Amino acid sequence: MNNQMLTFCVTNNRSLPLQSYLKDVIGIPKGHLHELRMSKQVLVNGENPNWTNPLKEGDQVFVPILPEEISPIATEMDIEIIYETEHLLVVNKEAGMDTHPSSDQDFRSLSNGVAYYFKNNGISSKVRHVHRLDQDTSGAILFAKHAISGAILDRMLEERKVKRTYLALVEGIMSMSKGTLDKPIGKDRHHASRRRVSPNGQKAITHFKVVKTFQKEQLTLVELTLDTGRTHQIRVHMSSIGHPIYGDKLYGSKNKHHRHSLHAWKLTVPHPFKEKSATVHAPVPTSFGPSFLKLEEL
């Protein structure tokens, strides 16, 4: 990307026209392609193209990053950015903070803080979180820095190319060292904000691996990865096997802790336009669990 322009070199394109190349090879969604076409800023070899003519191998395609009005409202706050490129950034969210505003009067979400970061750094873009975390879950959240990378990262998340690894402290000593929970999750009709395992729910798959057990305290530290991204998925699945997350009152925890002990610890992010990826870690906060946990060892 140079001067807010993405540059692509056509290779082995099977004589696709520009419209098909940008949609099918690069991954730009149809709606955004219309905006790009109307902008008259897309160039092929430095010239205004005919969008229906076939591209040739070696052609240089220049695609502008169209400026947008920054939203939501920018709020000055100290956010911890743990990874950044010209296309995306990963932020370590604090527990107790919403990923995005919960109402028009909410200006203290992480997205408001990212909007302030965009404004201060001359990034004229809407704030796009590629996934989200529950209010009391801390850890790594992926944001796109423009509409094109946002669309591509959204698709990569659906294709399970964005890998998320969590740490959870759960109640009880788990009998299995590792396993997979394949249980559909749906809404709980008796409680508006709660989910439950339901035969009529959406498919939900969670893989778990025991990291450490604490016999005296009757707690287990677990590493988890997801094949799906259902609301409260880890919380519902762990509660369903009798091991609710420490401090998670909504799903049956008996321990009084000011937050539930769930942290998005590791995130593997593919590059939107190249065959490479980056793996980043979000440091585990001291608020995660009881003081006997040696967080520096995680």
Q: Which residues are catalytic?
A: 134
Torsional class of 242: left (φ above 0), alpha (ψ -120 to 50), beta (otherwise): left
What are the backbone angles phi and psi of residue 60, rounded to the nearest 5°? -100, 120
Cis peptide before 29 (omega within 30 of 0): no
Angle at 279 between CA 138 and CA 67, to 5 degrees: 80
Amino acid occupying residue 6: L
The torsion of the CA quartet 225, 249, 175, 227, rounded to 10 degrees, works out to -20
Q: Categorise residue 279: left if φ over 0, alpha if ψ from -120 to 50, beta otherwise.
A: beta
* 179 strand-pairing partners: 208
